[in-house]
């Protein structure tokens, strides 16, 4: 955990996502050869590099990357066993060539970094995608693109049919073979997740920071572990979440719950008290007070 604490102290733009993802995987796989899998990304990029030697059109480069990853190497979204926690570990994704949206997005981001294609993560509600952006253009993270549906459609059409302009911004879905997305496609993805139309907000298409990326990845793994009632491993993921957000009352609350489920009553009490100090008026404060009471009773019985 000390290595992760050191990584979390870095400025956001200095956090290496691949390194961090493999560090997280090492909690699941003791003795994991992280360097091997990090170098594997370099090797895959080296295999792909000749395809991009003479091409400057971003759309064509994206098509080539899609073909290389999805057809040549067989990367694909794991629809049949989506909740398998191996889908969330980068080493497993590289070995098995299947994963969930965020880990397949990470593969694209890391290969793009090595091949001169700038991809940034976009955390839609319930689904993770990426956006290609020419580094010479200003990011549209403040929502300018989505403030005008017509402008968005025109620019998406330009992205698909462009002959190579320098202002292209292209949304794509690594889980679905790198499919190019329009705003309507994004709305459909959100609707599939929530069963109703949820209007896209500027926040939804703002590029995530590296810390936000890791938080989402850790939450996915934690959810898988809780689903398998592996509270010890879930607690490790939650420890990382607290490290990334040390002042978050909610992260301390969630760690307290996992401490309690894991039988670590003392630390659970500390976290419950922290949460109630910081968020005593929260809607779930009553529940946490009850949990705290149960924890105190157990502590008394043990002593």
**pLDDT single digits (tens) 202-260:** 657 789 999 999 999 999 999 999 999 999 999 999 999 999 999 999 999 999 999 99
Helix (H, G, I), strand (E, B) or coil at 288: helix
Taking the C-alpha atoms of residue 88 and residue 103, their distance in angstroms, rounded to an integer, is 6
Question: Which tokens belong to 286?
Answer: 């009553």
Q: CA angle, 164 as apex, 161 and 169 as ends, to 5°?
A: 75
Taking the C-alpha atoms of residue 90 and residue 84, their distance in angstroms, rounded to an integer, is 13
Taking the C-alpha atoms of residue 42 and residue 19, their distance in angstroms, rounded to an integer, is 13
Q: What are 154-203's pLDDT values in tens digits?
A: 444 454 443 333 447 899 999 999 999 988 888 888 888 776 666 666 65
Question: Which tokens belong to 255?
Answer: 């760690």
Q: What are 268-293's pLDDT values in tens digits?
A: 999 999 999 999 999 999 999 999 99
Closest by CA position to 3, among listed 271, 255, 243, 248: 243
Strand order in the sheet with 119-124: 119-124, 127-133, 169-173, 179-181
**CB-based contact 217:88 (threshold 8 Å):** yes
Kindly tell me if the per-residue pLDDT of 113 is higher than 50. yes
Q: What is the model's pLDDT at position 157?
A: 46
Closest by CA position to 286, among listed 300, 298, 272: 272
Half-sphere exposure of 193 (CA within 13 A, CB side): 12
Residue 118: CB atoms within 10 A of its CB come to: 16
Mean pLDDT in the chain?
Answer: 87
Question: Tokens 């059109």 map to which residue?
Answer: 57
Beta strands 76-77 and 98-99 are parallel
Taking the C-alpha atoms of residue 86 and residue 221, their distance in angstroms, rounded to an integer, is 9
Tell me how far CA of residue 267 lies from CA of 11, 211, 243, 292, in angstroms: 29, 25, 15, 11
Residue bearing the bigger pLDDT, 192 or 131: 131
Helix (H, G, I), strand (E, B) or coil at 92: helix
Helices H, strands E: what count in the chain?
A: 13, 6
One-letter-per-residue 3-state SS of 27-85: HHCCCCCHHHHHHHHHHHHHHHHHHHCCCCCHHHHHHHHHHHHHHHCCCEECCCCCCCH
| Percentage of the chain modeled with pLDDT above 90 | 72
Question: Which tokens belong to 14?
Answer: 């200095």
Taking the C-alpha atoms of residue 108 and residue 99, their distance in angstroms, rounded to an integer, is 12
Q: What is the model's pLDDT at position 141?
A: 39
Kindly tell me if the per-residue pLDDT of 137 is higher than 90. no
């Amino acid at each position: 955990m000390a290595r992760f604490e050191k990584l979390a102290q870095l400025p956001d733009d200095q956090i290496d996502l691949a390194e961090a993802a493999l560090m997280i995987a090492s909690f699941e796989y003791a003795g994991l050869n992280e360097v091997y899998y990090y170098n594997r990304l370099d090797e895959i990029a080296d295999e792909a590099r000749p395809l991009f030697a003479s091409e400057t059109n971003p759309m064509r480069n994206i098509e080539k990357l899609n073909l290389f990853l999805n057809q040549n190497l067989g990367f694909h979204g794991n629809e049949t066993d989506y909740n398998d926690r191996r889908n969330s570990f980068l080493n497993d994704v590289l070995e098995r060539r299947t994963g969930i949206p965020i880990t397949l997005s990470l593969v694209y981001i890391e290969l793009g970094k090595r091949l001169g294609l700038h991809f940034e993560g976009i955390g839609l509600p319930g689904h993770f995608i990426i956006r290609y952006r020419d580094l010479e253009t200003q990011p549209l993270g403040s929502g300018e693109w989505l403030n005008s549906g017509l402008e968005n459609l025109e620019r998406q059409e330009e992205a698909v049919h462009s002959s190579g302009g320098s202002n292209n911004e292209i949304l794509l879905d690594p889980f679905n073979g790198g499919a190019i997305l329009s705003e309507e496609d994004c709305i459909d993805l959100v609707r599939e997740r929530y069963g109703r139309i949820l209007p896209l907000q500027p926040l939804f298409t703002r590029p995530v920071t590296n810390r936000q990326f890791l938080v989402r990845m850790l939450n996915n793994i934690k959810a898988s572990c809780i689903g398998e009632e592996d509270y010890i491993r879930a607690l490790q993921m939650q420890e990382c979440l607290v490290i990334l957000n040390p002042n978050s009352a909610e992260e301390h609350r969630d760690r307290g719950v996992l401490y309690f489920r894991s039988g670590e009553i003392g630390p659970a009490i500390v976290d419950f008290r922290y949460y109630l100090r910081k968020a005593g008026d929260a809607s779930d404060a009553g529940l946490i007070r009850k949990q705290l009471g149960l924890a105190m009773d157990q502590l008394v019985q043990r002593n």
